[in-house]
C-alpha cells in the first residue's frame, strides 16, 4: 500500500516530480483531458441525437440502430487511434475523429430505443388531441425519452474519457494519459496517481451528467422510474 | 513515447525484420503479405492466441459471477441495488486507469489483467441475466409448480432456457467489449493483440503489422459475435419454430 501513499503525495503536489521541473501540472492535464473529451462528446451529441430521435420517431432503421451499436463496441479505441496515427498523423483532429466514431453509436442506439419505446398509447392520445407531428415529437416523445437519451450520452462520455487517455499510448500529447504512458519520467507513483485522477474524473463526469439529466427530466417522468437502462435497452434490442 | 514515431522516421525508414526483408517491405508498400507470412508464427499467432485466452477466461469468470449475483438478487431483492451500483462504478473507470490501479495491489501480471477484464463484464451480464429471469411469465412458473417441479428444476428446466436469448445477448456484448478492451492489456502484461499494435506504433511508416493486428482484433470480435448468434439459434429451436409458424 506504500505505492498508494506515494501516489496521493504525487496528486497533492499537483503532479510535481523531483528532478523533472518541465513536466505539466496534474490540474493542467486534467483540464486538457476534459476539454478534449467535451469537444468529442459535443460533436457526437450534435450528430447522433437527431439521427436516433428521427429514426425512433419514424419507427424505422432498427437494423441500423442495433448494428451501429454492435459495430461500435467491436472497435477497440487503441486500434482506431493507431490507424488514425498511421494514416493521418495523430493531432487533435484525429483524436476527436476517433472519439466521435466511438461516441456516436451508443448515443444513436439509446436515443432510438428511448423514442421508439415511448408508449404508443401516449402518442395516439397526443395525436387525438390534435397535436402535429412536430408537437408529438417535442412535447410528448422527447420529454419522455430524456432518461434513455442521457443513458447513451453518459455511456459515450465514459468511453470518451477512457479513449482520451488511451490516445497518449498512440502518441497524442495533452491528457492525463501522458503520465500513464510515461513511467520513465513520472515513476510508478505518478502513473498510479494519474490513474486515480482518471478514475475520479470519469466518475465525476458521470455524476455531473446524472445531475443534468435529473433537471432536464420532466417531474412526472422522474418518478416513473426507468433509471437509465442504456445497456438493458440495447440488449433488449439485440435479442429481438 | 510520443517521440518514438519521429525517432523512427529520423533513422532508417524501414526497420529490418530479420533476414527475410522482402521487396515489398523494403519499398514499404501499404500491406505486405509476405511480412504477415514471415511473422505469423512468431508474432501474430501467439498474440491472437493470448488474446482469445484473455477474453475467454475473463468472460467465463464474469459469467459465473454474474449468474451467482443474479440468483442472489432474485432471492434477496435488497442485494440488487448495491450490485448495480458497484458494477456500474467498475464499468465507469477507464480501462487504462483500472489496469494501473490493479498493478499496485496485484502486480503487473495476468491476474491484474483478468480482474480488470472481468470487472467490465459484470454490469452487462448481471443486468441481462436478471432481466432474462424476471421476464419469464409467471403463468409458466405456476404451471411448472403445478406439475410438481422443485425450485431447482424450475430454475434449470424452465427459467434458464426461457431467459437464454437475453443471457446470450448479454454475452455477445460482454465478449465483444472484452476483446476490444484486451488490446490495452499490453500496458501492464505482455500479452494479446495490443503487443503487435504497440510495436507497430513505433515503426513509423511501416503499416503492415498495424493493419494485420487491427484486422485480427476486429475480425476476432465479429467472429465471436457470430458464433454466439449460432449458439443461440441452436439452443432455442422454439424461437425459430415460432418465427416460421
* B164 contacts: CB under 8 Å, gap ≥ 6: B132, B232, B235, B236
- Complex ipTM: 0.83
Q: Is residue B127 part of a domain?
A: yes
Residue B3 has pLDDT above 50, yes or no: no
- The chain B residue lying nearest A69, using CA atoms, is B173
Please tell me if residue A151 touches chain B, with a CB cutoff of 8 Å.
no
Residue A221 dihedral angles phi and psi, to the nearest 5°: -70, -35
Q: Is residue B141 part of a domain?
A: yes
Q: Is residue B52 part of a domain?
A: yes
Q: Is residue B15 part of a domain?
A: no
Can you give the pTM of this predicted structure?
0.84
* A31 contacts: CB under 8 Å, gap ≥ 6: none
For the record, the C-alpha cell of B217 comes out as 482484433
Where do the H-state alpha helices sit in chain B?
A: 4-10, 23-26, 33-39, 45-75, 80-92, 95-106, 110-134, 138-146, 151-153, 160-181, 194-201, 208-235, 237-244
For the record, the C-alpha cell of B97 comes out as 486507469
Please tell me if residue A99 touches chain B, with a CB cutoff of 8 Å.
no
Q: Is the dihedral of CA A183, A186, A192, A193 positive or negative?
A: negative
Please tell me if residue B239 touches chain A, with a CB cutoff of 8 Å.
no
Q: How far is CA A226 from the centre of its chain?
A: 20
Residue B204 has pLDDT above 80, yes or no: no
Q: Is residue B70 part of a domain?
A: yes
Please tell me if residue A198 touches chain B, with a CB cutoff of 8 Å.
yes
Residue B245 has pLDDT above 60, yes or no: no
Q: Is residue B42 part of a domain?
A: no
Three-state SS for B147? coil
Rounded Cα gap, residues B204 and B221, in angstroms: 27
Show the domain range for B152: 48-191+215-236
Of A82, A165, A196, the CB nearest to B101: A196
Rounded Cα gap, residues B40 and B196, in angstroms: 11
Q: Is residue B203 part of a domain?
A: no
The CATH number covering residue B68 comes to 1.10.3720.10
Rounded Cα gap, residues A160 and A40, in angstroms: 7
Q: Is residue B225 part of a domain?
A: yes
pLDDT at B7: 45
pLDDT band at B14 (very low <50, low <70, confident <90, very high): low
More confident residue, A226 or A183: A183
Please indicate whether, in this complex, the C-beta atoms of B173 and A73 are within 8 angstroms of each other. yes
pLDDT at A211: 92
pLDDT at A156: 92
Q: Is the dihedral of CA A104, A106, A111, A112 positive or negative?
A: positive
Please indicate whether, in this complex, the C-beta atoms of B169 and A238 are within 8 angstroms of each other. yes
Distance from CA of A143 to the nearest CA of B (A): 25
More confident residue, B14 or A92: A92
User: Which of B62-71, B151-160, B202-211 has the least mean pLDDT?
Assistant: B202-211
Percent pLDDT > 70 in chain B is 90
User: Which of A73-77, B90-94, B147-151 has the least mean pLDDT?
Assistant: A73-77
Residue A224 has pLDDT above 90, yes or no: no
pLDDT in tens, A146-160: 989 998 999 899 989
For chain B positions 185-204, those within 8 Å of chain A (CB to CB) are 187, 194, 197-198, 200-201
pLDDT in tens, A38-91: 999 999 999 999 999 999 999 888 888 777 777 777 788 898 888 888 888 888
Split into its structural domains, chain B has a count of 1
For the record, the C-alpha cell of B188 comes out as 501492464
Taking contacts as CB-CB distances below 8 angstroms, the residues of chain A near B131 are 232, 235-236
pLDDT at A232: 42
pLDDT at B9: 45
Amino acid at each position: 500500500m506504500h505505492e498508494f501513499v506515494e501516489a496521493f503525495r504525487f496528486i497533492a503536489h499537483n503532479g510535481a516530480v523531483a528532478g523533472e521541473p518541465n513536466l505539466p501540472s496534474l490540474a493542467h492535464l486534467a483540464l486538457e483531458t476534459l476539454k478534449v473529451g467535451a469537444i468529442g462528446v459535443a460533436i457526437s451529441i450534435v450528430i447522433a441525437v437527431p439521427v436516433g430521435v428521427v429514426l425512433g420517431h419514424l419507427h424505422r432503421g432498427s437494423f441500423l440502430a442495433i448494428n451501429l451499436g454492435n459495430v461500435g463496441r467491436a472497435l477497440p479505441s487503441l486500434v482506431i487511434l493507431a490507424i488514425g496515427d498511421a494514416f493521418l498523423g495523430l493531432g487533435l483532429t484525429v483524436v476527436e475523429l476517433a472519439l466521435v466514431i466511438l461516441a456516436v453509436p451508443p448515443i444513436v442506439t439509446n436515443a432510438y430505443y428511448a423514442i421508439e419505446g415511448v408508449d404508443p398509447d401516449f402518442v395516439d392520445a397526443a395525436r387525438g388531441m390534435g397535436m402535429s407531428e412536430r408537437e408529438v415529437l417535442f412535447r410528448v416523445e422527447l420529454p419522455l425519452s430524456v432518461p434513455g437519451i442521457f443513458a447513451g450520452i453518459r455511456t459515450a462520455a465514459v468511453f470518451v474519457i477512457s479513449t482520451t487517455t488511451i490516445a497518449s499510448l498512440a502518441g497524442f500529447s495533452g491528457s492525463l494519459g501522458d503520465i500513464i504512458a510515461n513511467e520513465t519520467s513520472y515513476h510508478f507513483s505518478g502513473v498510479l496517481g494519474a490513474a486515480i485522477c482518471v478514475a475520479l474524473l470519469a466518475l465525476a463526469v458521470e455524476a455531473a451528467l446524472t445531475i443534468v439529466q435529473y433537471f432536464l427530466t420532466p417531474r412526472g417522468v422522474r418518478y416513473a422510474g426507468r433509471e437509465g437502462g442504456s445497456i438493458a435497452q440495447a440488449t433488449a434490442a439485440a435479442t429481438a | 513515447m510520443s517521440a518514438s514515431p519521429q525517432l523512427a522516421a529520423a533513422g532508417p525508414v524501414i526497420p529490418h525484420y530479420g533476414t527475410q526483408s522482402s521487396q515489398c517491405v523494403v519499398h514499404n508498400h501499404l500491406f505486405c503479405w509476405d511480412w504477415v507470412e514471415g511473422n505469423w508464427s512468431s508474432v501474430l499467432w501467439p498474440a491472437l492466441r493470448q488474446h482469445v485466452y484473455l477474453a475467454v477466461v475473463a468472460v467465463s469468470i464474469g459469467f459465473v459471477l454474474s449468474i451467482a449475483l443474479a440468483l442472489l438478487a432474485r432471492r434477496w431483492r435488497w442485494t440488487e441495488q448495491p450490485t448495480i451500483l458497484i458494477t456500474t462504478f467498475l464499468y465507469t473507470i477507464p480501462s487504462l486507469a483500472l489496469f494501473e490501479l490493479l498493478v499496485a495491489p496485484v502486480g503487473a501480471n495476468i491476474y491484474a489483467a483478468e480482474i480488470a477484464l472481468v470487472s467490465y463484464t459484470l454490469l452487462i451480464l448481471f443486468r441481462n441475466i436478471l432481466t432474462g429471469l424476471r421476464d419469464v411469465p409467471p403463468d409458466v412458473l405456476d404451471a411448472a409448480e403445478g406439475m410438481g417441479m422443485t425450485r431447482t428444476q424450475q430454475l434449470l428446466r424452465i427459467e434458464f432456457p426461457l431467459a437464454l436469448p437475453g443471457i446470450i445477448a448479454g454475452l455477445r456484448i460482454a465478449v465483444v467489449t472484452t476483446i476490444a478492451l484486451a488490446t490495452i492489456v499490453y500496458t501492464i502484461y505482455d500479452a494479446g493483440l495490443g503487443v503487435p499494435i504497440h510495436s507497430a506504433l513505433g515503426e513509423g511508416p511501416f503499416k503492415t503489422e498495424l493493419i494485420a493486428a487491427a484486422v485480427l482484433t476486429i475480425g476476432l470480435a465479429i467472429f465471436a459475435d457470430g458464433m454466439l448468434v449460432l449458439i443461440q439459434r441452436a439452443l432455442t429451436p422454439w424461437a425459430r419454430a415460432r418465427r416460421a409458424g
